[in-house]
Chains A and B, each alone.
Chain A
Amino acid sequence: MGPDRMDPHRVRFSFDGAPLEASRGMTIGGALLASGIVSWRRTGADGRPRGIFCGTGACFDCLVDVGDRQAVRACLILVRDFDEVRTSMSRRAAG
């Protein structure tokens, strides 16, 4: 495989501007944890860091901004090529 060809099993994405890679099929939460990042949200009132807690979509702690989608659950949605993932300051989930 040449250096210009992307490994089909890898996904390239970014977190707060920093380029990262993950295995295809990972959730955004899994991809961030695999890169050593445990926190990607700040609570509205006092700015406490948050990341994965329940891992099942129930607790809404792991909200993250992805491209133009704000406050989605990082534990549920899969990371895609060129996703621009950003720390979320949102107080409410999108859906």
Chain B
Amino acid sequence: MVGAGPAGLAAALAAGDLGCEVTLIDAGHGPGGQMYHPGMLFPGRGRAHRPAEHLPPGLARIRQLRQVRHLAATSVGRAVRDQDGVVTLWVGGTEGGAETTVEVRAVVLATGAAELVWPFPGWDLPGVTTAGAAQALLKSQRVTVGRRVLVAGSGPVLLPVAASLAEAGVRVVAVLEATPAPPAGGLAAYPGQRPETGGYAAALARHGVPVRTGYAVVACQGTERVERAVIAQLNQDWRPRPGSRRPETVDAVHVSFGFSPALELPRALGCAEVQPASRPVPAVACDADLATSVPGVFAAGAVTGAGGADVAELQGYLAGTSTARYLSRLPPDAYTERTRPLRARLENARRLAADLDEVCSLRPGWLEWPDSGTIICRCEQTRWSEIGAAVEGGARDVRAVQAVTRCGLGDCRACVCGPALQYALSAAAGMVPGSARPASAGQGGRHPLRWTA
């Protein structure tokens, strides 16, 4: 199992319960992933106030299961599957040190997702972070990045992050959701009004934090850190409305546009990918048993494009059970019987997620936010104008652009800039981003890209 978030933990439990020997590899210091953070000692309170268990009861059982060997603070650098079906993972400590290898007969990829952030001028200034980073720092360490902040982007993550920050005493100037509310329904269709997120909306209202739909942070300014954010009103396609830009004094901006599955490891193993219609980012392709296109390689959680901890956990149990069947620890009819309730619950969850994706779909107008000098690849410092020059010089796909600009060839292996580059290339070619379909008038038409503005 690679990844110890809800999906990886559930998969380890399911496979371990069926007698498989499980190695659980994760970069974190304890189990839980980005969803469940290990608690820590709060200043001045001492050990007695350390929460005994940060995992939900079902997953906390991981600590008792003898079949599970947990390699914490460990990353997978390379992975290869040989002709006999043995998968070799090269693993190393996150602090450096010698690599070792782990050989397994089957692997569950539960690598999760990176937060998706579209680039804008100044997004690389210190103080501009993903919404997830702000949440993680607050939840696990009681640390905040700024005192006067904006939470911006799109999707259901914004409200809980803003609510926790406000509860922690941070002055949240506003939550800016890029997608304008539909004219008739007001905020009705926005996830903030849905029952599962209604509590966050109430918390924000209590702290006087306005939630503005149809607005975005389109630039950040400052020298050593962000000092000002430029807010613009957007149209339905997320294009800034002329004359709507105004500055706001802040010392931090927390951004999220949803999630982009972490595909480095699945790609290394040759797993096929799918492109959900509503999202411009690919995910690992899985069948109903969560098997990928590579025999013995399974996937669960956000890496499959699924959203939410509950879905991830359900998928984890299914993938772990599926792995046990693959390893002949479970006869086929027992497998069917055991997984029937899981499948039904997953089907429900999938429908909910599809609704949410529909409301929070990503729109192409962000392509107007970068200016010529905006850094797109934070590792290699590739600028928007350099990508434009490559495209105008004939580069049509990611590899061709990378060869000229080095965009996406740095340490993060394109996990931050990859979706933006792919999206921009699709738009430049007149395609619906992420698909082979030409953009029609209904999707905002062909987007005129300005690389040198």
A55 to B142, CA, bound (A): 14
Q: Is A95 among interface residues, defined by CB-CB distance under 8 A?
A: yes
Write the nearest CB–CB distance from A90 to chain B, whole angstroms: 10
Q: Is B447 among interface residues, defined by CB-CB distance under 8 A?
A: no
Given A38-B225, A78-B29, A95-B93, 13 new contacts (CB under 8 A):
A23-B42, A30-B140, A30-B141, A33-B145, A34-B143, A43-B381, A48-B124, A48-B375, A56-B115, A56-B136, A69-B96, A95-B94, A95-B97
Q: Is B346 among interface residues, defined by CB-CB distance under 8 A?
A: no
A33–B143 contact, CB under 8 A?
A: yes
Q: Please give the number of chain A residues whose Cβ is less than 8 angstroms from any Cβ of chain B in the complex.
A: 42
Residues of B within 8 A of A (CB): 27-29, 34, 40-44, 46-47, 73, 75, 77, 92-97, 114-115, 124-130, 132-134, 136-137, 140-145, 224-225, 262, 375, 378-379, 381, 410-412, 415-416
- Which of B41, B224, B378, B379 has a CB less than 8 Å from the CB of A23? B41
Residues of A within 8 A of B (CB): 9, 23-27, 29-30, 33-34, 38-39, 43-46, 48-61, 63, 69, 72-73, 75-78, 92-95
Closest residue of chain A to B410 (Cβ to Cβ) is A60
A58–B416 contact, CB under 8 A?
A: yes
A63 to B375, CA, bound (A): 18
Q: Which residues of A contact B134 (CB under 8 A)?
A: 55
- Which of B46, B96, B130 has a CB less than 8 Å from the CB of A55? B130
Q: Which residues of B contact A44 (CB under 8 A)?
A: 381
A61–B114 contact, CB under 8 A?
A: no
Write the nearest CB–CB distance from A11 to chain B, whole angstroms: 11
- Which of A58, A73, A77 has a CB less than 8 Å from the CB of B262? A58
- Which of A23, A33, A59, A72 has a CB less than 8 Å from the CB of B40? A23
A55 to B132, CA, bound (A): 7
Closest residue of chain A to B379 (Cβ to Cβ) is A60
15 sample A-B contacts, Cβ–Cβ < 8 Å, listed by A number: A24-B40, A25-B40, A25-B41, A26-B141, A26-B143, A33-B137, A38-B126, A53-B128, A53-B129, A55-B133, A56-B115, A76-B95, A94-B96, A95-B77, A95-B97
Write the nearest CB–CB distance from A61 to chain B, whole angstroms: 6
Given A39-B224, A60-B379, A54-B137 contact (CB < 8 Å): no
A61–B97 contact, CB under 8 A?
A: no
A69 to B96, CA, bound (A): 8
Sort A-B residue pairs by CB-CB distance and give the 6 closest, nearest first: A55-B133, A25-B40, A60-B411, A95-B96, A51-B126, A30-B141
Q: Which residues of A contact B92 (CB under 8 A)?
A: 95
B114–A54 contact, CB under 8 A?
A: yes
A61–B40 contact, CB under 8 A?
A: no
A93 to B73, CA, bound (A): 16
Closest residue of chain B to A39 (Cβ to Cβ) is B126
